[in-house]
Structure 1
């Protein structure tokens, strides 16, 4: 793996608490120290860029992209094309959103099954994650074994 793409809301950031989710800084630091290209992609406008700055995590990311509306393939393609899908992993909390896009692009996916969408089940084969974890701490351990 060379590239890790994170979803923002409810994967790294809690919009309800306006704070990072437990384990966010730990996994970002771990991956950055491994020399990984990190990207964060999500729904939102300029306010989400402001939150990334306010929370002090901008320097972890080589690529940051927020867009209003749905998360479509185009939003992720630029990042995936840098290293190729076989070298890219998506980490998100929704199988019916960012993980489906990751699978569509041929990447490995990690479902962080926590919070609001923890009970959301895949509706088709393309929504099935490569790996499922219960927290960012567990995702960090998994990535430690994969890298």
Structure 2
């Protein structure tokens, strides 16, 4: 049985207090890692380091690929994330689960990703603050629905840290 998104959002937010804590969900491909070059995106490590220094819980959401955990290890960022989720399809139910685990209010959860129709849409449907990294392969995407409009848009990963309060 599928539960309506509105019900999930009300259910989760009614159990949370307005705390000062924040948390961040990061997409992997083309947000942290560039699969075309096989390297981290410029500015990604610095943003992750800065958030880690502030003790901000970080979560990773990535398409399922058996090489991902090893790749995170090789990049030296596996331990930066409180949890990593490798999924076939990104959907709001997963984002609500992460919100629940983080124990923060939706407006205190930031979602950083490069795809309007995936992570930005899911984050918005959950009432989170979404940051679209508008660069590369999906930079020409247009919103297909209201939930595809990001809270903020950046063209470089280094701009993300300044948006997260």
Superposition TM-score, scaled by structure 1 size: 0.92
In the TM superposition, residue 48 of structure 1 has moved relative to its aligned partner by: 1.0
Residue 96 (structure 2) pairs with residue 77 (structure 1): yes
Structure 1 SS opposite 2:61: strand
Equivalent residue for 1:129, pick from 127, 133, 150: 150
Cα distance in 2 for partners of 1:74, 1:52 equals 24
Runs of at least 5 residues in structure 2 that lack an aligned partner in the other structure = 1-20
In the TM superposition, residue 86 of structure 1 has moved relative to its aligned partner by: 2.0
Cα distance in 1 for partners of 2:149, 2:47 equals 23
Cα distance in 1 for partners of 2:90, 2:133 equals 17
Structure 2 SS opposite 1:83: coil
Equivalent residue for 1:28, pick from 48, 57, 64: 48
Cα distance in 1 for partners of 2:85, 2:135 equals 23
Question: For 1:13-63, what per-residue CA distance to the aligned partner results, in whole angstroms no more than 9, with x for missing partners?
Answer: 111122111111100011111111100101022211111111110111101
What does residue 107 of structure 1 align with? 128
Equivalent residue for 1:64, pick from 66, 84, 91: 84
Structure 1 SS opposite 2:116: coil
Cα distance in 2 for partners of 1:37, 1:9 equals 20
Q: Give the number of the structure whose alpha-carbon radius of gyration is greater.
A: 2
Structure 2 SS opposite 1:99: helix
What does residue 40 of structure 1 align with? 60
Superposition TM-score, scaled by structure 2 size: 0.82
Runs of at least 5 residues in structure 1 that lack an aligned partner in the other structure = none
**RMSD over equivalenced CA pairs, Å:** 1.2
What does residue 95 of structure 1 align with? 116
How many residue pairs were aligned?
143
